[in-house]
């Protein structure tokens, strides 16, 4: 006798087992599919890049801006601390906000390069009046005589020249002794002119001719010219310079008047040395760095350009505190005879290889109380760490400070909003916030002398941002492990689902 089913229909043989098995299989497949989808979704979530934070996101570091001289535009010189707290190249993450937290427009002001400028240096010259020309003499006698003693030339004034020429017979000219030149001076160091001073008369115009000599015996013609002093309605007009032959290194110069009666009475003379100078418009910051202690000071690391891990024994290591644009370095050696040939190397980060920046010989030579030292070594590189590698043939370097000249930028901001102002830094994801300097200050060169002045206070840290960054670092450390774990779970889930489907009987 058949039993009716739950709907009142007749029951078929074996029907009591199949309806219960099918729902269970469908639910299992659904759970496996959900697990696979979740695993793939988690994997995609872990591997996807983080979205950019909205503008105004928190910064880790801030420092108050103290306005020392108010103006519509204020200049804030940047310190090493600004470079150290910035998280992006080119200081792109800097912001300036007012007391309400509103943004204040600002621009980065790069240092101006040094400007060449023509200048002159004056050195005294000794002058002697020439004695009157005697009858039958073609040239005036010399008022001095020279004597060679070793490598020096000793000048002695002749007894006949101790008496000044009488007013009735003015001196026919003058002899100038330019003195001994420093050893090594070439034609470029020779004076370009003599600058004369006189006592009388008030107005004159006197022509002259020149001759030069190294030993007061052999003379070379050196041209001529005219000195003058005139009074005019616009003021006094004078011409006190006597041009000398370019590049001539003669020690003695003889000037003869064409008309001694019209000539002035000279009282002093100076040598004029033309110099081409570099005028520094924005002075660099001077940093005095102490050598690092510990393993780095012992010369660890490798020397670039060599095969294998070649150590640098005896090297000195220095840390600038941030990646700074360095102009030059100088090593002040201790007293005594010191000669230290070195190679200067640098790098911007600790995980980079050292690269050569230059080589020089630092020395300190003491002679009779005077100290002779070389000029600083030009570098022109952006580095954070410096290493001085000595020549192995010269021995180890003494652990002495290194003087570094770094060219730091400035910030110019518009003094708007509600003071006081703050400088924010320390965001690795913030968009660049500085305006072009020409946009912020259209007439920069005209406005530059009127810029105000500000300074930075002490830095403080936003603890909430510091905790968030620490959490992100921990997550970043676990991210590869979690990613592989989720991917492995997804593969296992897919494999298990395929295996279950493969075991189902066909039909």
pLDDT at 469: 59
Q: What is the pLDDT of residue 114?
A: 82
- What residues contact 267, with CB distance under 8 A and at least 6 apart? 197, 198, 199
**Which of the pair, 325 or 464, is modelled with greater confidence?**
325
CA distance 310 to 345: 14
Tokens coding 61 = 């570091």
Residue 494 pLDDT level (bands cut at 50, 70, 90): confident
Counting Cα atoms < 13 Å in the Cβ hemisphere of 112 gives 11
pLDDT over 60 (residue 45): no
pLDDT of residue 187: 67
pLDDT, residue 30, reads 54
Backbone angles phi, psi at 187, to 5 degrees: -60, -30
pLDDT band at 305 (very low <50, low <70, confident <90, very high): very low
Helix or strand holding residue 18 (H, E): helix 18-47
**What is the predicted pLDDT for the residue at 186?**
63
118-279 and 285-406 in the same fold: yes
pLDDT band at 113 (very low <50, low <70, confident <90, very high): confident
Dihedral angle sign, alpha carbons of residues 65, 66, 69, 70: positive
pLDDT for residue 165 is more than 70: no
Instruction: Report whether 407 contacts 284 (CB < 8 A).
Output: yes
- Would you say domain 118-279 falls under CATH 2.60.120? yes
Strands 73-77 and 452-456: parallel
Where does 201-240 show beta strands of DSSP type E?
A: 204-213, 219-232, 235-239
369: phi then psi, degrees, rounded to nearest 5: 90, -15
Give counts: helices (H), strands (E), the chain.
5, 26
Contact 154, 147 (CB under 8 A): yes
Alpha helices in 152-251 (DSSP H): none
Report the C-alpha gap between 398 and 396 in whole angstroms.
7
Instruction: Fill in the DSSP letter of residue 408.
Output: -
Beta carbons within 10 angstroms of residue 414's beta carbon: 16
Cβ 74 vs Cβ 450: under 8 Å: no
* Segment 190-243, tens digit of pLDDT: 899 999 999 888 899 999 999 999 888 899 999 999 999 998 888 888 999 999
- Residue 270 is predicted with a pLDDT of 96
Strands, DSSP E only, in 10-114?
61-69, 73-77, 95-97, 106-109
| Residues 195/269, Cβ–Cβ less than 8 Å | yes
Percent of the chain topping pLDDT 90? 47
> Residues 431, 93: contact at Cβ < 8 Å?
no
Cα separation values, 108 from 71, 317, 434, Å: 17, 31, 7
- Confidence label for 470 from pLDDT (cuts 50, 70 and 90): low
DSSP state of 449: G
- Token couple for 391: 């020549």
Structure token digits, residue 504? 């189902």
Tell which wins on pLDDT, 495 or 258.
258
Mean pLDDT of 74-87: 94
Domain map (residue ranges) of the chain: 34-58+462-507, 61-110+409-461, 118-279, 285-406
DSSP letter (8 states) at residue 265: E
Q: Which fold has domain 285-406?
A: Jelly Rolls (2.60.120)
């Amino acid at each position: 006798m058949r039993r009716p089913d739950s709907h009142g229909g007749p029951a078929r043989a074996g029907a009591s087992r199949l309806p219960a098995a099918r729902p269970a299989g469908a639910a299992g497949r659904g759970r496996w599919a959900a697990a696979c989808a979740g695993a793939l979704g988690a994997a995609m979530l872990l591997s996807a890049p983080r979205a950019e934070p909205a503008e105004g996101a928190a910064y880790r570091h801030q420092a108050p801006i103290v306005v020392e001289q108010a103006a519509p535009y204020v200049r804030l010189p940047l310190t090493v601390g600004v470079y150290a707290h910035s998280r992006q190249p080119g200081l792109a993450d800097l912001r300036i906000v007012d007391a309400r937290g509103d943004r204040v427009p600002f621009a980065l002001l790069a240092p101006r390069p040094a400007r060449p400028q023509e200048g002159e240096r004056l050195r005294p010259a000794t002058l002697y009046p020439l004695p009157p020309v005697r009858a039958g003499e073609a040239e005036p006698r010399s008022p001095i005589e020279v004597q060679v003693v070793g490598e020096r030339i000793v000048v002695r004034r002749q007894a006949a020249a101790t008496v000044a020429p009488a007013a009735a017979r003015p001196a026919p000219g003058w002899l100038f002794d330019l003195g001994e030149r420093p050893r090594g001076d070439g034609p470029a160091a020779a004076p370009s002119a003599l600058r004369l001073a006189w006592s009388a008369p008030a107005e004159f115009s006197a022509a002259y001719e020149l001759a030069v000599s190294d030993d007061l015996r052999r003379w070379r013609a050196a041209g001529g010219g005219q000195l003058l002093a005139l009074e005019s309605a616009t003021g006094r007009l004078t011409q006190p310079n006597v041009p000398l032959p370019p590049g001539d290194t003669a020690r003695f110069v003889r000037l003869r008047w064409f008309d001694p009666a019209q000539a002035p009475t000279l009282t002093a003379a100076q040598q004029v040395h033309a110099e081409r100078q570099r005028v520094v418009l924005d002075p660099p910051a001077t940093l005095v760095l102490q050598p690092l202690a510990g393993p780095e000071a012992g010369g660890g690391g490798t020397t670039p350009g060599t095969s294998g891990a070649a150590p640098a024994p005896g090297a000195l290591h220095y840390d600038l505190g941030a990646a700074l644009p360095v102009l030059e370095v100088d090593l002040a050696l201790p007293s005594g005879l010191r000669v230290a040939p070195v190679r200067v190397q640098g790098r911007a980060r600790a995980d980079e290889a050292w690269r050569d920046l230059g080589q020089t010989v630092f020395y300190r030579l003491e002679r009779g109380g005077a100290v002779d030292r070389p000029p600083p070594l030009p570098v022109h590189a952006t580095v954070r760490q410096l290493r001085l590698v000595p020549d192995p043939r010269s021995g180890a370097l003494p652990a002495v400070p290194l003087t570094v000249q770094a060219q730091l930028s400035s910030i110019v901001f518009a003094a708007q909003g509600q003071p006081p102002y703050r400088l924010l830094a320390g965001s690795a994801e913030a968009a660049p916030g500085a305006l072009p300097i020409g946009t912020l200050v259209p007439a920069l060169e005209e406005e530059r002398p009127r810029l105000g002045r500000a300074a930075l206070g002490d830095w403080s840290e936003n603890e909430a941002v510091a905790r968030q960054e620490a959490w992100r670092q921990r997550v970043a450390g676990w991210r590869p492990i979690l990613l592989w774990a989720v991917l492995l779970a997804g593969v296992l889930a897919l494999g298990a689902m395929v295996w279950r489907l493969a075991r189902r009987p066909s039909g």
